[in-house]
Each structure stands twice: as C-alpha cells, then as structure tokens.
Amino acid sequence: MLSFIKEDFLILKSNVKYLILLIFVYALLDYATGPGIIYAIPIVGIFSYYNIFNYEKSTNFDTYVAGLPSGKKKMVLSKYLGSVLLCLMLTILTIIIGSLLLAFKNTDGSIWEVLLTNAAIFLIGITVVALNYPFIFKYGIEKGRIALFGIMIIVPLGLALIIKLLSLMHILKYFTFIITYYYITIPVIVLALFVGSIYLSHKFYLKREF
C-alpha cells in the first residue's frame, strides 16, 4: 500500500510547480483583498488528486492492480490515505501562510481563528473525498467528476433545506448536543463517513472488471 501512495505522490510531483504558482497567487489575493481565499488551497489540492485517476486509466493500471494479492483493497486504501496526507500537508502549509499574512497585515485576527478555519477546511476536504470516491471506484473517473459537481451543489443545498425543515418542525432543539459540542461531534461524524466511504469503495472496486 505504501508503494501505491509513493507512486501517487510521484505523479503529483509533476504538478508541483503549478500548485506552487497557485499558492503564490492565492496568497497575493488574500493579502490584497482580505482573508479567505488562501483557505481554498487544501480543497484545490484534493482536486489535483484526480489527475492520478486519469493517469492510471490511461496506463491501464487497474488491470495490473487486479493481478496483485489484495491489490484492489490496497489500491482503495492508498487513494484515501494519500488524499488525507495531501490535504493535511496543504492544511499545515495554509496555516503557516495564513499566520504570516496575519502578522504582516497586522489585522484584528488571531492565530486561533486561523487554526479553527483550517481545521474546518481540512474536514471539508475529507468529506469531499468520502462522498466522491465511491462514485469513482464504482463508475470511473469521468462519472466521478460529474458526481463531484453534483455533490458540491446538492449537499450544501440539501443541508440548508434539512436545517430549515428541522427548524420549522421545532426538531432542531433535539440536536443541541451536536451543535454545542460541534468540535467533537463533527469530527466524529466525518470520521464515520470516511470509514463508511472506504468500505463502499472497496465493495464497488472489487466488483469492477478490467
């Protein structure tokens, strides 16, 4: 599995210069227009992981994986763990850049706000992976991209609608524990979603024939 992750990062290495340029542009925009833009870096990094799926499709890598002992299982785990590792690395980088921008701009913000915002962005990145990867492993990268756009639109609207309905039905008050202890409950929910996503992706990928 580690060899799969190393190979993924070697493929990503070819995109490093574009990612560095993007980070530089985002940092400049953040400095000029105000905080917020820089926090998109981890999410953009997650999207860059899709290039690996494209590359592996073009080289018929799935056929090679299918012939390895436990190859499909290791393949699924490597994609999830590699995505988390990339998102974590970019989140740490964003924290450093955000803290430096905060110091140079001398604004009223705090390091604590930078940390909380990046923690939330990291969880969003993991959620995007958890919701989208089962589609990729079941239908392939092309339909997976379509599913991604659907997720980015439907999920926020769906959550907003559910919260509105719960509020109108006066049920939202029963979720006060989740809201009050969000710093515990949200990571636990995201972790459960992530583990469930790995399970689904593994099941879907095992059934695919190459």
pLDDT tens digits along 38-87: 788 888 888 888 888 888 888 888 777 777 777 788 889 999 999 999 99
pLDDT in tens for each of the 210 residues of the chain? 788 888 888 888 877 777 888 888 877 877 777 666 778 888 888 888 888 888 888 888 877 777 777 778 888 999 999 999 999 999 999 898 888 887 777 666 678 888 888 898 899 899 989 989 999 998 888 877 777 777 777 766 766 676 666 665 566 666 677 778 888 888 999 999 999 999 999 999 888 776
Contact 109, 117 (CB under 8 A): no
DSSP code per residue over 94-144? HHHHHHHHHHHHT-S--HHHHHHHHHHHHHHHHHHHHHHHHHHHHH-HHHH
Report the alpha-carbon distance of residue 24 to residue 123 in Å, rounded: 23
Domain ranges of the chain: 2-207
Single-letter code of the amino acid located at 7: E
